Amino acid sequence: MSEEKPTTVWADDDYVAAKNQSFLSRLYTGTGAFDIVGKRKTWYIVSAVIMLICVLSMIFRGFTPGIDFEGGTQVSLPASSSVTTDAVSDVFSTTLGYAPEAVQTAGAGDAATIQLRTESLSDQDANKLSHALADTFKPDITLSDVSSSDVSSTWGAEITRKMVIALIVFLVVVFVYIAIRFDREMSAGALVSLLFDVVATAGVYSLVGWEVTPATVIGLLTILGFSVYDTVVVFDKVEENTRSVFATSRRTFAEQTNLAVNQTLMRSINTTIISVLPIIALMVVAVWMLGVGTLKDLALIQLVGVVVGTYSSVFLASPLLVSMKERRKDVQRHTKKVLARREKMAAQA
Amino acid sequence: MTSNNPLTARRNAQRETSPWAPLLGFIGVLALIFVLVFATGDHKAEPKLGIDLQGGTRVVLTARTEDGKAPDRSQLDLARQIIEQRVDGLGVGGSEVVVNGSTLVITVPGNDGKQARSLAQTARLYIRPVIDSQAAVQQKTDPNAPKLSEMTSEEQTAAIDAARAARQAPATADPNDPKDAQITRLRAEMAKVNCDPNAVDPLVGYDKPDEYLVACGQKDGQVYLLAPQIIKGTDVDKAKAAQNQTGQWVVQIDYKGDGKQTWVDYTSKNVGKVTATVLDSRVVSAATINSAIIGTTEVSGDFTQAEAEELANALQYGSLPLSFETSDAQTVSATLGLSSLKAGLIAGAIGLLAVLLYALLYYRMLGFLTFLSLILASAMVYGLIVLLGRWIGFTLDLSGIAGLIIGIGMTADSFVVYFERIKDEMREGRSFRSAVSRGWASARRTVWTGNAVSFIAAAIIYFLAVGQVKGFAFTLGLTTIIDVVIVFLVTHPMVVLASRTQFLSRPSINGLGAVSEVARKRRAAAKQKANAGEDAL
C-alpha cells in the first residue's frame, strides 16, 4: 500500500506512518498517517453505495408502520403457561365476534408478554375485552395486569409533521451556527454528512424491518444532534490545524486536514465505543426484559446512528470539506506553491 | 520563554488558578441540590415518574377545529380546566392535565385511570324547556358510596344505565297528559334525586339529550323536570358575561345556524315559560321567557361576576367547534411499568460500568477520573430531575431514561476529547504536566462548540416535537449542560491535580506510556538527524 504513489505528499514525521508499529498502536498513538483525505474518491464511492442500498431499501422494503402510525388498539398482558397467543386470540374472537389482526409474544422469561393488535376498539369493547381476559385467565391475570394502547390513525401523521418541522428548523439553525463558528464550506460539509446519517440510519432501520414507532422518530431526531456534534469535533481540529496553513508552504490544506482527521481518529473511535456500550446495554436489557418497546427501537436507531455518524464525520465530511476548499483560488494557489517548493527541495537533494 | 528555569516555573504554577476552587464549588452546588431534594417537597429522592414507568393511564387529546386551524390558546386552557375538573372527579391522586401544543395530555397514575379515556367529550350543553321544578329534597349522602373511579367500567356503565332508566323518559311521553305513566314516574323521581353537590351522579355528561330528564340545579337547590333539548351547545355562536341596566351580571348568548331560528320560533311561541341551560346534565340557569328573543339572548340567574364569566366560558366552550379526538390512549399496568423502570435502571448501571471498564483499560488513571466524573454527573442529573419534577412538573418517562443512558456516552466524549488532546501534546514531546494545560486550552473550545450543537439539537426537538419525544430531548439537554459543568468544575481540576502528583504522572499509571515512547523516539530521531547533518558538514 505504502509503495503506491500517494495522492497526498507526506513531508515529515506526522505524515509518515510508523511502520514498525502495529495497526492498533498506530491508531492509539495517532501515528497512523492514514491517507483518508487523499483517498477520498474511494470514500465517496463507499458512501454512495451505502446511500444507494439504504434508499433502495426504503423504496422497496419500506417501513413497517407501528400502531402509532396505523391507528388501532394494542392490548398486552403477561404471558404464562395458560396465557398463550392462541388462548388470547380465542378470548378476543368469542368476546367481540371477529378475529384480532395479530397476536404475538414479546420478550422472554418472566417478562414475556402477549401483544394483541386490532383496529381501534371503542371504550366499551376494550373494557369488555379486558374483563373477558381477566375472567378467563384467573388467577394468572387480574384486570390491572392488562395494558392497552389506543391510537388514532392521524396521530402518526401529526408526529411526522412535527418532526419534519423540527428537522427543517434544526438544519437552518445548525447551518447558521457552523457557518458563524467555522465557515460556509464546513457548514455545507456538516449538513451533507448529517443527511447521509439520517438516510443511512433510516435505511438500516428499514432493512431490519422493525416497526416504526414514535420512539424511532425520537431516535432519528437525536441522531441529528449526535451527527453534528461529531462532525463539529473533527472540524474543530481541522480548523485548528489549517488556521495558519497559508502562512507557510510546508503543507497543503488537504494534508493538514488529513492530519487533523488522524489526530482525532482515536477520539472518534473511543467516543463511538463509549457511546455504543451503554446503548448496547440498553438494547440487550430492553429486549431481554421487555421485548418489543420504546427502549429497543430507540437503542437500535441510536446504535446505527452513532456508528454512521462517526463514519460520516471522518470519511465523508472531512474529505468533502477538502474537495470544496480545493475549488477555491487561494487554496489552489497555495497547494501549487507547496508542491513547487517540495520539487525544488527534492531536486536540491 | 525560560520555563526551564525553576524559578519562573514556580511563578507560573502560582499564577495558575487553584484546581481546588472549582472542585469545592461543584461539591457545594451538589450538596445544595441534595439539601433541596431532602428539605423541600416530600423529602424523598424520587423523581416524578411517567405512567410508562409506574403504571397508569395517559390520554392524548388532540383538539380539532372545524376549519382545521390551530385552536386558540385560551380555548385550550379552558378545555384543560374543564377536563381537569372531570379528572379530579375520578378521585385519583396525582392526576394532571397539561396543554402540550394543540393537545391535552391527561395523566392518571395507578390502575384506576381507565375512565380517563372517556373524559374527552366536549362539555355538553343543551337548552331544554322546563316542565316543572321544585325544591330538591335533602338526601343523605353516603360517604362510603363508591366513587366513579372505584367502579369497574361495567359497574359504571350499569350505574349510568340505571340513572337513565330512573331519570329519563323517551320523547314520546306527553307532559300535558296527567295520566302519562312516564311523566308521572319522573315527577315521583324528582323527590328522590340527591342534589347534594358531593353526591356521585353517574349521569353527569351522559344523559340522553333527546329524552325527558330530571336534573338538579347547579346552585339553586331546585330539581327540574326538563323536556328534550331544543338547542345544542354547538349552536352557541358567542357567549359573554355582561352587566344589564340594573347592574346585574348576565350572560349574553348569540346562536348560530339552525339554533338561531329555532330559538326565535321557540321564544315567540312560549312567552312566559321557563327554559333551562343545562351543562353536563346540571341546570346552570332557568329563566322565564319575557318576549320573543331575536338576536342576543340574556340569561340572568343571580350571578356574581365570576359566575357569569364562568358560565359564559362554559357556554362558549360547549359551543366551540373545538372538539377533542383521542389521539393516543395508553394504559400501562403497574407491573409492566415497574419492569420498564427496572430495565432502564439496569441498562443504565451496566452502561455506566461498561464505560468505566473501557475507560480504565484505555486511559488507566484518567479512566478512573472519567468514572468519578460520570458518577458525580449522574448524581447531579438525578438530583436535578427530582427537583425539576417538583418545580416544573418534569416527568421522567421511558424515553427520558433512554436520553439519560445515551447521555452517558455523550458526557464521556468530552473527557475523550480532552484526554486525546493531552496525548497530542505529549506526542509533540511535552511533559504530562504541561500537556495538561495546553491540551485543556484547545479541548475546552471543542467541548463548548460540540455541546452547544448538542444543546441546540435538544432544545429544538423539545420545543418542536410532540409527545414522548419531549422527555428524551429534555434529559439529553440536561445532560449536555451537566456535561459542561462537570468537565470544567470536576474533570479538568482533577486532571490538573493528578498532573502535579509525581506518582500519578508515571507513564505506567496514567496510561500515556505509549505516547511518551513515540515522543522519545522522535526526539532521538531528530537528534540523530541533526547529528548526521553536523557530520556531513
pLDDT digits (tens, 9 = 90+) for B437-474: 899 988 998 898 888 888 888 888 888 776 667 788 88
Q: Is the pLDDT of residue A15 over 60?
A: no
At the fourth CATH level, which superfamily is domain B29-47+333-526?
Answer: Multidrug efflux transporter AcrB transmembrane domain (1.20.1640.10)
- For the segment A311-320, the average pLDDT, to the nearest whole number, is 92
* CB within 8 Å: B152 and A147: no
- Residue A20: all three cell numbers together: 514498525
Q: Which of A26, A28, A173, A236 to mutate to test the interface with B (most CBs of B within 10 A)?
A: A236
Domain map (residue ranges) of chain B: 29-47+333-526, 51-115, 124-319
Is the separation of the CB atoms in B119 and B280 below 8 Å? no
Q: For chains A and B, what is the number of CB pairs under 8 angstroms?
A: 279
pLDDT for residue A1: 35
- Residue B199: all three cell numbers together: 353526591
- Residue B207: all three cell numbers together: 344523559
Can you spell out the DSSP letters for A324-347? Answer: HHTTSHHHHHHHHHHHHHHHHHHH
pTM: 0.69
Residues in chain A: 349
Which residues in B lie closer than 8 A to residue A240 (C-beta atoms)?
A: 442
Which residues in A lie closer than 8 A to residue B350 (C-beta atoms)?
A: 278, 281, 285
pLDDT for residue B323: 61
Residues 110-149 of B with CB under 8 A from A: 111, 114, 117-118
Q: How far apart are CA A93 and CA A335, in angstroms?
A: 76
Which residues in B lie closer than 8 A to residue A113 (C-beta atoms)?
A: 336
- To 5 degrees, how large is the angle CA A119–CA B472–CA A201? 75
Q: Report DSSP state, residue B135.
A: E
- Which pLDDT tens digit goes with each residue over B337-395? 888 888 888 888 898 888 888 888 888 778 888 888 989 999 999 999 999 988 888 88
Lowest mean pLDDT among A63-72, A320-329, B80-89, B93-102: B80-89
pLDDT for residue A290: 66
pLDDT for residue B33: 93
pLDDT for residue A9: 43
Q: Where do runs of H (alpha helix) occur along chain A?
A: 23-29, 40-56, 67-70, 85-96, 123-136, 153-181, 184-208, 214-242, 253-290, 294-312, 318-325, 329-348
What is the Cα B95 distance to its own chain's centre? Answer: 11
How many percent of chain B have pLDDT more than 70?
77
Beta strand spans in B193-257 (E): 212-216, 222-226, 231-232, 236-243, 249-255
pLDDT for residue A3: 36
Q: How far apart are CA B268 and CA B285, in angstroms?
A: 20
| CATH number belonging to domain A32-63+155-348 | 1.20.1640.10
Which residues in B lie closer than 8 A to residue A176 (C-beta atoms)?
A: none
Q: How far apart are CA A162 and CA A155, in angstroms?
A: 11
- Strand pairing partners for B223? B134, B216
How many percent of chain B have pLDDT more than 90?
11
Quote the minimal CA–CA distance from B268 to chain A in Å. 42
Q: How far apart are CA A342 and CA A10, in angstroms?
A: 10
Domain map (residue ranges) of chain A: 32-63+155-348, 72-151
> The complex's ipTM?
0.79
| End-to-end CA gap in chain A | 25
Can you spell out the DSSP letters for A124-161? Answer: HHHHHHHHHHHHHTTTT--GGG-EEEEE-HHHHHHHHH
Q: What are phi and psi of B393, to 5 degrees?
A: 70, 25
Any A CB within 8 A of B151 CB: no
| CATH number belonging to domain A72-151 | 3.30.70
Any A CB within 8 A of B452 CB: yes
pLDDT for residue B209: 83
Residue in B62, B117, B328 nearest the CB of A68: B328
Any A CB within 8 A of B343 CB: yes
3-state class of B134 per DSSP?
strand
Any A CB within 8 A of B528 CB: no
Give the confidence band of B499 by pLDDT, cuts at 50, 70, 90: confident
As a 3-state breakdown, chain B gives helix, strand, coil percent values, each rounded to 5, of 55, 20, 25
Q: Output the average pLDDT for chain A.
A: 81
Can you spell out the DSSP letters for B334-391? Answer: HHHHHHHHHHHHHHHHHHHHHHHHHHHHHHTHHHHHHHHHHHHHHHHHHHHHHHHHHH
Which residues in A lie closer than 8 A to residue B333 (C-beta atoms)?
A: 77, 144-147
Q: How far apart are CA B324 and CA B95, in angstroms?
A: 19
- Which pLDDT tens digit goes with each residue over B77-109? 877 877 776 666 556 677 788 887 778 888 888
Q: What CA–CA distances, in Å, run from B203 to B166, B218, B323?
A: 11, 14, 21
pLDDT for residue B529: 65
Is the separation of the CB atoms in A225 and A275 below 8 Å? no
Q: How far apart are CA B52 and CA B328, in angstroms?
A: 13
| CATH number belonging to domain B51-115 | 3.30.1070
Can you spell out the DSSP letters for B402-434? Answer: HHHHHHHHHHHHHHHHHHHHHHHHHHTT--HHH
Q: Output the average pLDDT for chain B.
A: 79
Residue in A124, A163, A298 nearest the CB of B399: A298
Is the separation of the CB atoms in B123 and B280 below 8 Å? yes
* CB within 8 Å: B406 and A275: yes
Residue B211's contacts (CB-CB under 8 Å, 6 or more residues apart) are B164, B168, B169, B170, B171, B228
Q: How far apart are CA B422 and CA B526, in angstroms?
A: 22
Q: Strand A64-65 to strand A211-212: parallel, antiparallel, or no bridges (unpaired)?
A: parallel
Nearest chain A residue to B466, by CA: A159
Instruction: State the number of CA atoms in the 13 A half-sphere of B189 facing the CB.
Output: 23
Give the confidence band of B44 by pLDDT, cuts at 50, 70, 90: confident
Residue A206's contacts (CB-CB under 8 Å, 6 or more residues apart) are A54, A57, A58, A61, A62, A63
> What is the second-level CATH architecture of the domain B124-319?
2-Layer Sandwich (3.30)
Give the confidence band of B255 by pLDDT, cuts at 50, 70, 90: confident
* CB within 8 Å: B469 and A228: no
Of the candidates B308, B306, B309, B272, the residue with the CA atom closest to the CA atom of residue B289: B272
Quote the minimal CA–CA distance from A118 to chain B in Å. 14
Q: Is the pLDDT of residue A274 over 90?
A: no
